[in-house]
Amino acid sequence: MRFFALARRPLRAALLVLLLPLSAAAALPATDSQGQPLPTLAPMLERVLPGVVNIATTATVPVADNPLLADPFFREFFNLPAPRRRRQAHSLGSGVVVDAGAGYILTNHHVIDKADEITVTLHDGRSLTARLVGADPETDVAVIQVEAVGLTAIPMADSDQVRVGDFVVAIGNPFGLGQTVTSGIVSAVGRSGLGIEGYEDFIQTDASINPGNSGGALVNLRGELVGINTAILSRSGGNVGIGFAIPIRMAAQIMRQLIEHGAVQRGALGAQAQDLTPALAQAFGIGPGVRGAVITRVRKGSAAARAGLKPGDVVVAINGRPVSNANALRTIIGLLEVGTEVKLRVLRDGRDHTITARVEPPRKPPSHAGGKLHPHLAGARLMDADEMDSDASGVLVAEVAAGSPAAAAGLRPGDLITAANRRVVRNVAELAKAVRGRRALLLNLRRGNASLFLYLR
């Protein structure tokens, strides 16, 4: 006991040393040496913080047990209990109140994914049970709803106006500590190709985003919502100054569909595109500095085909919104509802054109099981090539199952079969006729820029 008494004395002294400067600092007015007010985010945060909530979820997940535990004789011999099939998992995240009257809260899909129970804790300490309105894994956006009075919503900004260098503040609930605020700047906009989500158009920031910040708010200095914090780039799991937020424009578009339909009715044009590189711009006679997406394929009978879009067209804007690359084209179209009319500004043969199209539901071309045509083709999914490209002719190998006869024969996804047993085939029906009754198959196919024969016997 004496030892602890002695150990506490220097600790008290240390605390006094630490606390005295803090107390003195707290007594100082928030002004500089000239008597001018010091810059602070406190007034803005006092308005915004009540609009950011904590989200706790409970989910029932399967447990991966050792296969031996499934053997009743093994368990009986070692007197082991029956294996647990499922367990309770808990997670923490954040959310943003965007409609105080209706109780709508925006968050990430991965925060509430597979949750059996969702509990929202407000800034004032109230805990409420929330219901899932809808979620979209492709954009990692989800909407939940609570019934409560006195909610505070954060007003939305126009995230298209966000620029590199803008000051932003990230608010969330990292590590379950309670609300935490970090500040930084916008490092980049329009980030895509990261492989985080199916549709990407991220705002990148160096404001620290840590575990638990997911679904939280990224606000500007006016206290307006510019994004939903989603992910970080890190090798260790800690923040290294590269965080990503979903622009609120994108999140709001998804939210409206989730509220109205419970799911996203994602549209499509029926065209494929690639980035407009400086080399392609020169080849097409387009001046330097132009950005866009080059149409490479137009599916037969698609909305793009009906509108008159052609391979070689360079899409530079949709409904007045610039298209910087192929991913931007896919994202803009993918966020539009089915039936929406769009105006595409395209460059064709050096001239400016406006093409009007109506977004249609994504169409999955019909495919056929190769094993129904011939045993050597078992494990392959085949489709007519003109379903994907109006100028192509042949049979496209869409999928090849690992370890299947088709895989053993050397077929690969993306192969285009143009002839079988020395007969030209333009579709699956003609391939079926060419291989019927034959034990061995001689296939002529295109693979990338090469042509080759495969002999299957």
Of residues 80 and 322, more confidently modeled: 322
End-to-end CA distance of the chain: 88
- Which tokens is 253 given? 């578009």
Q: Phi/psi of residue 195, each to 5°? A: 75, 15
Homologous superfamily of the 45-145 domain (CATH): Trypsin-like serine proteases (2.40.10.10)
How confident is the model over 144-203, as pLDDT tens digits?
A: 999 999 999 999 999 989 999 999 999 987 666 678 899 999 999 888 777 777 788 899
> Whose CA is closest to 199, among 257, 126, 124?
257
SS3 content of the chain, % helix, strand, coil (to 5): 25, 35, 40
How confident is the model over 365-401, as pLDDT tens digits?
A: 778 899 999 999 999 999 988 776 556 788 999 899 9
Of residues 23 and 451, more confidently modeled: 451
SS3 84: coil
Residue showing tokens 């690992």 = 402
Taking the domains of the chain in order of start, what are their residue ranges?
45-145, 159-261, 271-358, 368-456
SS3 353: strand
Calpha distance 396→399 (Å, rounded) = 9
Of residues 13 and 360, more confidently modeled: 360
* Adjacent-strand bridge partners of 185: 167
Q: List the catalytic residue out of 91, 94, 109, 110.
A: 110
SS3 195: coil
- Which tokens is 394 given? 């042949």
Among the residue ranges 106-110, 142-146, 239-243, 251-255, the one predicted with the least confidence is 239-243
Confidence of residue 3 (pLDDT cuts 50, 70, 90): very low
List of residues 6+ apart from 66 with CB closer than 8 A:
none
Residue 110 bears catalytic tag: yes
**Are the beta carbons of 214 and 111 closer than 8 angstroms?**
yes
Predicted local distance difference test score (pLDDT) of residue 88: 60
How confident is the model over 259-311, as pLDDT tens digits?
A: 998 888 888 888 888 888 888 888 888 878 888 999 988 887 888 989 999 99
**Are the beta carbons of 238 and 201 closer than 8 angstroms?**
no
CATH, domain 368-456, list 2.30.42.10, 3.90.700.10, 2.30.29.30, 3.90.550.10: 2.30.42.10
Domains 159-261 and 368-456 share a fold: no
Calpha distance 130→214 (Å, rounded) = 17
Confidence of residue 20 (pLDDT cuts 50, 70, 90): very low
How confident is the model over 63-108, as pLDDT tens digits?
A: 555 555 556 655 665 666 665 556 566 678 899 999 999 999 999 9
Q: List the catalytic residue out of 94, 192, 214, 390.
A: 214
Overall fold of domain 159-261: Thrombin, subunit H (2.40.10)
Overall fold of domain 271-358: Pdz3 Domain (2.30.42)
Q: List the catalytic residue out of 136, 140, 206, 389.
A: 140
Predicted local distance difference test score (pLDDT) of residue 52: 93
Residue 140 bears catalytic tag: yes
Calpha distance 383→427 (Å, rounded) = 7
SS3 255: helix
> Whose CA is closest to 217, among 287, 152, 282?
152
Query: Mean pLDDT in the chain?
Result: 82
Predicted local distance difference test score (pLDDT) of residue 229: 93
Query: If you ran DSSP here, which 8-state letter would residue 83 be given?
Result: P
> Whose CA is closest to 270, among 329, 222, 218?
329
- Which tokens is 313 given? 């067209």
